[in-house]
Amino acid sequence: MINITFPDGSVRAFEKGVTGYEIAKSISPRLAEEVLAIAVKPATDTTIGKGQTMDLNRPIEEDSSIFLLKWEDDEAKRVFWHSSSHLMAEALEDLYPGIKFGIGPAIENGFYYDVDLAGNQLTDADFPKIEKRMLELAREKQDYTRIDVSKAEALKHFEEKGDQYKCELISELEDGTITYYTNGHFTDLCRGPHLRNTEVIKAVKLTALAGAYWRGDETRGQLTRIYGITFPKKSMLDEYLVVLEEAKKRDHRKLGKEMELFTFSSRVGMGLPLWLPRGSVMRFELEKFLRRKQNEYGYLPVVTPHIGSKDLYVTSGHYAKYGKDSFQPIHTPQEGEEYMLKPMNCPHHCEIFRSSPRSYRDLPFRLAEFGTVYRYEQSGELHGLTRVRSFTQDDAHMFVTPDQLKEEFEKVIDLILYVFRIFNFDKYTAQVSLRDPNNKAKYIGSDENWEKAENAIIEAAAEKGLKTVVEYGEAAFYGPKLDFMVKDAIGRKWQLGTIQVDYNLPERFQLEYTAADGSKQRPVMIHRAPFGSIERFTAVLLEHTGGHLPLWLSPDQVKVLPISEKYSDFAKKVCSLLNNSDIRTSIDDRNETLGKRIREISLLRVPVLAIVGEKEVAEGTVSVRREGADAGTMKVEDFVTWLKAEMAKELA
């Protein structure tokens, strides 16, 4: 017999070799139907976490603690979607004989398989046919069967099949570790885990096609990546499709174009956003907003160059991370002189800290910069403003004593929550990433300081009433951190806002301050960025609001529309009066119908329209529309007061 420990701490004895499915069934048949996979951690394993996710059919041979994983668990979704990629492969093999397979992993929403179509043509018009075949095969209740094979057998199998991709993967594996999984007539080289059988896959949708280089290598052949998603219930797919449709409407790349905020030019370079005038106005407002708040918190503004000498980044350790895999160093006419495009602002800020002797009285020392950084992302990874090669972080670094960590953390949490409140991100969670307590050697910094910092973060988060999950082993090697996840208006999750403790850079840069007792001490550094970057935040905000930005942030706050040319002069007067009152206003007196002009302006998402006709001119008023709804007729001076009050409300 072996002892199985359940998540609630209870222990039950089972026959050696019991499977997850049998354990679930012993609790209730219904549970057995709902469980998709199991996480198993042998009692001898002292690492943190749930343990290894396994097939429900795999025998458990020793005392272990387990988690029965259901659809709600991310690990189960991954198993579900990865198994679905095998199902898709089986369907593809039926429909397109000769097709060859690369890899087919689960992703955040669904799965993909990279395939070599071997001369077959595939467009999204073929999706329904593939989906139909997948569902037919799913209903056959095919088992996912695991088979251990030798390397020689595996190579022989895929050589006979002519699948050079799998052969390449196998040749890199060690003998004795190779497993196949078979569902129906499809056999794949895979280490699993998978579902018990295909029957639980009840709804299927293929979502996209893309090109993908084999193993991400541009010098290798290009494969076709087929994306899909599956669900255990039809209604879940329907809900997902509604969100997807809504997400399309809110795609920030589409909105950025319609609202004339930003553009890209292949001639400038991929992933290098060009901010158009309207986008730039918005961006400056975002910066102004944060600067104002940061001033209240005692941040000191700094500006540093876009490049730094290679030595700076060797000192900081960033060269090791970015030197080879990012933009290459810039050479100068001076032999041996090299500069790097700045991948991070931190090293520059460390040098500012070092530029003058610091005393404990100077701490916390807070340096803030809207610093533009450059990182080389793979071209396939680039996506609108969310994945770019040049972006501006709303960066700040605090240099504090270990005793100041908690209070400073609380202040940063306050600032981040303020940002969330102003932008109506009212659903958020936070993740505290701590070190792996069983592997302390991996981390830089003293045990005492780590404990202090981790407790500071946990206490600060608790005192601020944050809903947190604590993840052991997720901290960076140089310090624990707190990450925020927000849910947008249609329920999608985005990571926004990070606070990171750092013991590494103060060490590498030999930063010091003079303590009260006259001794030299090393400060602790905190990195933080409430927006993350202006680019990413803009993208998230556009998708969250559908482009309906707050009035204070809108590039064009008011559009004045004379009903006809006759009223243009009055409209111009209104326009300049508003601009003189610092309200960003423009006029649209084109010789088009009012309806047509309003429709065109709606693409720009101008929040307030001021319409003037005969009556308005006579009375010195404007007819106001706010976000498409009638807001009444107002005297021009009252209109200014009203606009200012509306903005004050948004920023309160």
In this chain, which of 100, 250, 283, 527 binds Zn ion, going by CB under 5 A? 527
Here's the x/- map for Zn ion, 332-351, by CB under 5 A: it reads as --------------x-----
Q: Which residue number has the CB closest to Zn ion? A: 190
In this chain, which of 169, 178, 190, 281 binds Zn ion, going by CB under 5 A? 190
79 binds Zn ion (CB under 5 A): no
458 binds Zn ion (CB under 5 A): no
* Calpha distance 34→24 (Å, rounded): 9
Q: Are the C-beta atoms of 61 and 81 separated by less than 8 Å? A: no
Q: Nearest approach, Cβ of 354 to Zn ion (angstroms)?
A: 15
Partnered with residue 526 across adjacent β-strands are: 398, 501
* Residue 190 vs 457, nearer CB to Zn ion: 190
What lies within 8 Å, CB to CB, of 40 at 6+ separation is 20, 51, 52, 54, 58, 60, 64, 65, 66
Q: Nearest approach, Cβ of 476 to Zn ion (angstroms)?
A: 11
Give the pairing of strands 608-612 and 35-42. Answer: unpaired
Give the pairing of strands 524-529 and 558-562. Answer: unpaired
* Calpha distance 129→126 (Å, rounded): 6
Q: Nearest approach, Cβ of 257 to Zn ion (angstroms)?
A: 32
Q: Are the C-beta atoms of 375 and 326 separated by less than 8 Å? A: yes
User: Across 117-202, where does the E strand assignment appear?
Assistant: 145-148, 179-183, 186-189
Here's the x/- map for Zn ion, 140-179, by CB under 5 A: it reads as ----------------------------------------
Show the CA angle centred on residue 588, arms to residues 583 and 592, nearest 5°.
Answer: 160
Q: Nearest approach, Cβ of 525 to Zn ion (angstroms)?
A: 8
How far from chain centre, in Å, is Cα 490?
Answer: 16
Whose tokens are 């979704």? That residue is: 77
Give the pairing of strands 274-275 and 262-263. Answer: antiparallel
* Residue 346 vs 499, nearer CB to Zn ion: 346
643 binds Zn ion (CB under 5 A): no
* Residue 84 vs 621, nearer CB to Zn ion: 84
* Residue 283 vs 527, nearer CB to Zn ion: 527
Whose tokens are 């593939």? That residue is: 130
How many residues touch Zn ion under the rule CB under 5 A: the total is: 3
Q: What number of residues does the chain have?
A: 652
Query: CB under 5 A: which stretch of 361-369, 400-408, 527-535, 574-582 binds Zn ion?
Result: 527-535
Q: Nearest approach, Cβ of 524 to Zn ion (angstroms)?
A: 13
* Residue 364 vs 547, nearer CB to Zn ion: 364
* Calpha distance 487→502 (Å, rounded): 28
Show the CA angle centred on residue 528, arms to residues 522 and 529, nearest 5°.
Answer: 160
* Residue 65 vs 85, nearer CB to Zn ion: 85
Q: Nearest approach, Cβ of 526 to Zn ion (angstroms)?
A: 9
* Residue 405 vs 551, nearer CB to Zn ion: 405
Query: CB under 5 A: which stretch of 190-198, 325-333, 445-453, 604-612 binds Zn ion?
Result: 190-198
Which residues carry out catalysis? Answer: 346, 375, 393, 395, 397, 481, 527
DSSP string, 29-44: HHHHHHEEEEEEEETT
366 binds Zn ion (CB under 5 A): no
Q: Report, in angstroms and rounded to the nearest whole number, the Rg of the chain calculated over CA atoms.
A: 29
Query: CB under 5 A: which stretch of 110-118, 481-489, 521-529, 545-553 binds Zn ion?
Result: 521-529
User: For 174-332, where are the alpha helices, taking DSSP H only?
Assistant: 234-250, 252-258, 277-296, 310-316, 318-322
Query: CB under 5 A: which stretch of 168-176, 243-251, 471-479, 520-528 binds Zn ion?
Result: 520-528
* Residue 366 vs 527, nearer CB to Zn ion: 527
How far from chain centre, in Å, is Cα 278?
Answer: 25
Q: Are the C-beta atoms of 347 and 314 separated by less than 8 Å? A: no
324 CB neighbour count, 10 Å cutoff = 8
Q: Nearest approach, Cβ of 123 to Zn ion (angstroms)?
A: 26
- Give the tokens for residue 497: 């806002």
Q: Nearest approach, Cβ of 486 to Zn ion (angstroms)?
A: 21
* Chain positions contacting Zn ion, by CB under 5 A: 190, 346, 527
